[in-house]
Structure 1
Amino acid sequence: MEERKDSKNILVIDDSVLIRLMAKNILEAEGYNVEAAATAEEAMLKVKNRKELFDLVIVDINLPNQNGFEFIRKLKSEEKYRDIPVMILSADATAPSIRQAVEAGAVEYLIKPFKAAELVKRVVKLIGYIKEEDHYPELKELLKKEINRAKRSNVNLSLVLAQCEGKIRVEISKIAKQVKNRLRDIDTVFEIDKNTLALVLPVTGADGAVVVIKKVKGKLPGKWYFGIGTYPDNGKDEEELINFAKESLMKEISNLKQETAERKEI
């Protein structure tokens, strides 16, 4: 496994508000520092005005005024950015576009629409992990056992990922206890990291998971987002179930933030 780093800075350039929000939320949840720009011109200003280099630049091809290929060539003309990796994020999957991206200086190409797990996988490949302890390995072990039980009994199992926006003033362990007090004895509340909880709900389908969220949501301090994955509909093993719940969580975060941004514009 690659060595984890203390901090990494990423610049995401896309004229779609939704794509910018999704990419930013997905990568920030993994511990990366992310800035976003809607145009190549805005992105270049961020590059030139920033003292510390971005460790990775993710850019769409079809940008207003100046396309992604032109931006990459301008970026690579800056000596300090010649060795900084660039990844294309585009709906254009044609061979000519991919070839042109490589010729311009891109080293990775991800097709839209994309899954959160795939984006993170590409980013990790290019710039490594972030140093942040989490407990996903332990969650996988727990889910593996619960999925085996659900399979034998031919019942559902739901995983809920709950993530708080920003820093929590209360210790996550205390919040976990509060949540557990509102659940059944067979349910498990698992601390993933300093602002994320996992709720493992045996014999519970997606509708039941929604009921659980409504039950605990009002008791949590701060603003929380939720993602649901249900066995066997959304995943046949623990890896698939976690990835689906992560995708669901990131979609909720992006959708709610986009709605907030649209209301502000109105």
Structure 2
Amino acid sequence: MYSLKILLIEDDMIEVMKLNRTISKLNLSHKIVEANNGEEALKILQNKSDLPDIILLDLNMPKLNGIEFLNILKNDEVLKYIPTIILTTSNNQKDLLECYRIGIAGYVLKPLKYEDYVSKIEKLLGYWSINELKQI
């Protein structure tokens, strides 16, 4: 299995800790790069020689929300190829449809129970670690 470099864009520190704890619990060697909001993520993505394999994106964030971030990302000739998966508590149908229209790779609802969260993250990262990712 391929070790992923994951850009996590999440403003809730509990959610950041939960993902890191899950990756550790599953003994995965993925590298997590954290951004607290879309603006911070765009700064990280300016270094085109060290891009993430996938982006996990929360929708509800201050400054630049997930949909605004997606629009900027998908209008960049290099960044638009990075698979972006929404990881959110929002089951708003309008958000879901808008995200797919812009061009996401997946939409995952964060479950309330930690065991369910671990199971979803394991499947999500398992899929992307065997997927043939476009190397820029």
Give, in angstroms, the shift of residue 115 of structure 1.
Answer: 1.0
Structure 2 CA distance, aligned partners of 1:15 and 1:72? 16
Counterpart of 1:66? 64
Structure 2 CA distance, aligned partners of 1:22 and 1:77? 31
Counterpart of 2:121? 119
Is the 1:56–1:127 Cα contact (8 Å) retained in structure 2? no
Structure 2 CA distance, aligned partners of 1:62 and 1:34? 20
**Is 2:13 the counterpart of 1:17?**
yes
With normalisation by structure 1, the TM-score equals 0.44
Structure 1 CA distance, aligned partners of 2:124 and 2:79? 19
Point out where structure 1 has 5 or more consecutive residues left out of the alignment: 130-266
Q: Deviations over 1:88-141 (max 9, x none)?
A: 011111221111111122111111235112112012223428xxxxxxxxxxxx
3-state DSSP class of the match of 1:63? coil
Structure 2 CA distance, aligned partners of 1:76 and 1:55? 15
Point out where structure 2 has 5 or more consecutive residues left out of the alignment: 132-136
Counterpart of 1:95? 93
Is the 1:85–1:126 Cα contact (8 Å) retained in structure 2? no
Residues 39-188 of structure 1 correspond to what in structure 2 (within 5 A)? 39-49=37-47, 51-113=49-111, 115-128=117-130
Identity fraction in percent: 25
Structure 2 CA distance, aligned partners of 1:38 and 1:115? 20
Give, in angstroms, the shift of residue 31 of structure 1.
Answer: 1.1
Q: Deviations over 1:140-191 (max 9, x none)?
A: xxxxxxxxxxxxxxxxxxxxxxxxxxxxxxxxxxxxxxxxxxxxxxxxxxxx
3-state DSSP class of the match of 1:53? coil
Aligned-residue RMSD, C-alpha? 1.8
- The answer to which structure, 1 or 2, has the higher relative contact order (CA under 8 A, 6+ apart) is 2
Structure 2 CA distance, aligned partners of 1:21 and 1:51? 27
Q: Whose radius of gyration is greater, 1 or 2?
A: 1
With normalisation by structure 2, the TM-score equals 0.82
Give, in angstroms, the shift of residue 82 of structure 1.
Answer: 2.0
Is the 1:11–1:34 Cα contact (8 Å) retained in structure 2? yes
Total equivalences in the alignment:
125
Give, in angstroms, the shift of residue 39 of structure 1.
Answer: 0.8
Deviating beyond 6 angstroms after TM superposition, the runs of 4 or more aligned structure 1 residues are none
